[in-house]
């Protein structure tokens, strides 16, 4: 399942699951991630799943590359360790002031606004990974008709809670941040809540997300 | 921002450039985008808490370049400053000079003025007691991007009050003689995308000097030097990063990821700084020149053991 394990510096393992981006490979990555979280191998400080890689950082005072590599290679995977993976519904308000790039997308994709949203809301999305900024989920796959390039010049500030799309992926900006994804709406739900003490992030790698449209009024109500 | 409710507190007269509370760091949240954070220079963090006779993971105040100016109100308290730091205490209109790595007694109405870090970046203030700070996900380390940790995830601000608790009896005059040695050759291990770069690019990466630019902070060090040209692809599918990873941007410039780095990134990784050189790396100020040297994993592990032994020797010399 892991094609190759190499060292990333002297305090991390770089587990390579392949080069493509697809759910099958990513489910493998996340299965390893979940199993490793339960393993309690000495010295692990962080496990970072991404599309097709898994990086395991460790404390060099407590273990070493060779030791941990052996443990990972001999890890007995519990099958279908997907109990932690949920279906989460995210409301999105698509009024013009939130859908910063919808006009650009209509031109770029040669599809009208209504059809863009209909297509977008009709699918479930899979969370490949979270990160870059705290809690930001990378979701896929978009319908092919909505594949769009990033903005040529990224925005200096994408508003917090904006929904962005690019190529086969969509994401949610959990903080105001620079970014180049095409913004099509905004959710009133905080995806990353730094007031919550145990699970600040709503969406975890492996979760399934569905979006549904709400009006401006509903958006404002949710915010109260 | 409450006004004097506690007996012992600092009032921030000047916050300094980047003053944040830090401890060892925050484990196990890379997968949701939360970096490790923590004190940038781990050895100076450990020494600060050891001289104060604190638990090793006690919060410290980290500052960069220009530190804070703090007025102290309360009973006598032991403090120490670590790093290569120029500071003074203003007591009844008199300037008193002290050295780093020794316990100093701070009295009521004293003003601690941390003027600058000398040809380095970070310094630490530790107290014989505890800064009253909030914890988040098992750490008080401030991450200003995610707005988490001590001080509501923010840098120190002018006028704010820092409450102190568990003030210890005045400590013996613990002291060590320690000089923060500088480093010019940063030792690295080859990264997973080494083959994205031409032989010429690799040659100049290891033989030429790079300038540390001003665009360097707790998230990363940006370097300028020869362009490291990519012969495969300037982007990869985003994947996990760690402290010390050197990414080469599409422009051909290296960025070294530091303690507050984004948890995933999409630039090829040419190498990773060895753990033993990390403390020295973060202390290299903008305007300096650095060179990279390749070593293998086995040597890096041996050098780390030596680094650990050196730290333990320093700790055992305290008192």
pLDDT at residue B145 in the model: 86
B137, B244, B308 member nearest A9 (Cβ): B244
B36, B192, B301 member nearest A8 (Cβ): B192
Rounded to a whole number of angstroms, the distance from the CA of A100 to the nearest CA of chain B is 24
Does position A224 have pLDDT exceeding 70, yes or no? no
Closest CA to B222 of B206, B246, B242, B190: B246
pLDDT at residue B319 in the model: 65
Taking the Cβ of residue B147 and every Cβ of chain A, the question of whether any pair is shorter than 8 Å is answered with yes
CA–CA distance, A93 with A215 (Å, rounded to integer): 6
Residue pair B64/B121 in contact by the 8 Å Cβ criterion = yes
Q: Encoding tokens for residue B187? A: 């030792």
pLDDT at residue B182 in the model: 73
Angle at A63 between CA B26 and CA B294, to 5 degrees: 90
Q: What is the CA radius of gyration of chain B?
A: 20
Confidence of residue A82 (pLDDT cuts 50, 70, 90): low
pLDDT at residue B3 in the model: 46
Rounded to a whole number of angstroms, the distance from the CA of A37 to the nearest CA of chain B is 9
- Map B207-231 to HEC letters: HCCEEECCCCCCCEEEEECCCCCEC
Q: Chain A residues with CB inside 8 Å of B245's CB?
A: 8-9
Rounded to a whole number of angstroms, the distance from the CA of B172 to the nearest CA of chain A is 30
Residue A211 is given by DSSP the state E
Q: State the best of B24, B26, B31 to mutate against chain A, taking most chain A CBs within 10 Å.
A: B31
Rounded to a whole number of angstroms, the distance from the CA of B173 to the nearest CA of chain A is 30
Per-residue pLDDT of chain B (319 residues; tens, 9 = 90+): 444 455 899 999 999 999 999 999 999 999 999 999 999 999 999 999 999 999 999 999 999 999 999 999 999 999 999 999 999 999 999 999 999 999 999 999 999 999 999 989 999 999 999 999 999 999 999 999 888 999 999 999 999 999 999 999 888 887 888 877 777 799 999 999 999 999 999 999 999 999 999 999 999 999 999 999 999 988 889 999 999 999 999 889 999 999 999 999 999 999 999 999 999 999 999 999 999 999 999 999 999 999 999 999 999 988 6
pLDDT at residue A194 in the model: 82
> Residue B28 and residue A46: Cβ atoms within 8 Å?
yes
Q: Predicted ipTM? A: 0.94
pLDDT at residue B317 in the model: 87
pLDDT at residue A196 in the model: 80
pLDDT at residue B2 in the model: 45
pLDDT at residue B177 in the model: 80
CA–CA distance, A202 with A195 (Å, rounded to integer): 12
pLDDT at residue A81 in the model: 57
> Residue B146 and residue A57: Cβ atoms within 8 Å?
no
Q: Chain A residues with CB inside 8 Å of B36's CB?
A: 45-46
pLDDT at residue A80 in the model: 61
> Residue A46 and residue B301: Cβ atoms within 8 Å?
no
Q: Which residue of A has its CA nearest to B153?
A: A194
Q: What is the pLDDT of residues A108-156, one digit of tens each?
A: 999 999 999 999 999 999 999 999 889 999 999 999 999 999 888 889 8
> Residue B301 and residue A10: Cβ atoms within 8 Å?
yes
Q: Which residue of B has its CA nearest to A11?
A: B275
Does position A63 have pLDDT exceeding 60, yes or no? yes
Q: What is the pLDDT of residues A150-208, one digit of tens each?
A: 888 889 899 999 999 999 999 999 999 888 999 999 999 999 988 887 788 999 999 99
Cite the beta strand spans of B74-209 per DSSP E: 77-82, 85-91, 94-97, 104-106, 111-117, 122-127, 130-131, 161-165, 185-190
Q: Identify the bridge partners of residue A130 per DSSP, sorted by sequence position.
A: A137
What's chain A's average pLDDT? 93
Closest CA to B124 of B145, B143, B110, B141: B141
């Amino acid at each position: 399942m892991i094609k190759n394990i190499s060292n990333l510096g002297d305090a991390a393992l770089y587990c390579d699951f392949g080069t493509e981006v697809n759910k099958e490979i990513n489910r493998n990555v996340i299965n390893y991630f979940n199993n490793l979280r339960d393993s309690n191998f000495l010295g692990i400080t962080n496990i970072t799943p991404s599309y097709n890689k898994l990086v395991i950082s460790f404390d060099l005072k407590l273990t070493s590359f060779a030791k941990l590599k052996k443990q990972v290679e001999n890890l007995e995977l519990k099958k279908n360790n997907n109990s932690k993976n949920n279906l989460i519904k995210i409301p999105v308000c698509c009024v013009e002031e939130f859908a910063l790039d919808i006009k650009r997308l209509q031109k770029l994709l040669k599809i009208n606004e209504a059809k863009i949203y209909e297509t977008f809301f009709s699918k479930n999305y899979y969370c490949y990974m979270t990160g870059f900024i705290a809690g930001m989920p990378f979701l896929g796959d978009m319908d092919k008709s909505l594949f769009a390039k990033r903005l040529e010049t990224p925005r200096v500030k994408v508003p917090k809670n904006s929904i962005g799309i690019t190529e086969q992926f969509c994401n949610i900006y959990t903080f105001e941040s620079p970014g180049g994804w095409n913004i099509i709406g905004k959710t009133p739900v905080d995806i990353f809540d730094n007031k919550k003490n145990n699970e600040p992030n709503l969406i975890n790698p492996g979760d399934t997300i569905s979006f549904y449209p709400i009006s401006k009024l509903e958006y404002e109500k949710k915010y109260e | 921002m409450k006004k004097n409710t506690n007996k012992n507190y600092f009032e921030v007269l000047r916050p300094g450039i980047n003053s944040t509370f830090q401890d060892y760091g925050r484990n196990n949240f890379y997968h949701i985008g939360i970096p490790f954070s923590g004190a940038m220079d781990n050895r100076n963090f450990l020494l600060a808490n050891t001289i104060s006779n604190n638990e090793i993971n006690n919060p410290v105040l980290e500052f960069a370049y220009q530190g804070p100016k703090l007025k102290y109100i309360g009973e006598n308290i032991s403090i120490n400053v670590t790093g290569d730091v120029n500071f003074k205490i203003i007591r009844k209109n008199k300037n008193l000079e002290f050295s780093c790595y020794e316990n100093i007694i701070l009295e009521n109405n004293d003003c601690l003025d941390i003027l600058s870090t000398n040809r380095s970046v970070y310094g630490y203030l530790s107290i014989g007691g505890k800064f009253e700070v909030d914890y988040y996900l098992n750490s008080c380390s401030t991450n200003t991007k995610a707005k988490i940790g001590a001080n509501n995830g923010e840098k120190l601000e002018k006028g704010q009050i820092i409450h102190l608790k568990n003030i210890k009896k005045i400590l013996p005059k613990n002291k060590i003689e320690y000089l923060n040695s500088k480093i010019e050759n940063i030792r690295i291990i080859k990264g997973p995308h080494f083959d994205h770069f031409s032989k010429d690019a690799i040659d100049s990466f290891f033989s030429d000097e790079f300038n540390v630019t001003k665009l360097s902070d707790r998230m990363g060090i940006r370097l300028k030097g020869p362009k490291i040209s990519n012969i495969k692809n300037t982007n990869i599918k985003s994947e996990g990063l760690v402290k010390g990873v050197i990414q080469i941007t599409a422009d051909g410039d290296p960025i070294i990821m530091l303690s507050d780095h984004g948890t995933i990134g999409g630039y090829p990784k040419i190498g990773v700084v060895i753990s033993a050189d990390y403390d020295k790396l973060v202390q290299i100020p903008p305007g300096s020149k650095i060179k990279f040297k390749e070593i293998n994993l086995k040597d890096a592990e041996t050098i780390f053991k030596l680094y650990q032994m050196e730290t333990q020797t320093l700790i055992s010399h305290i008192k």
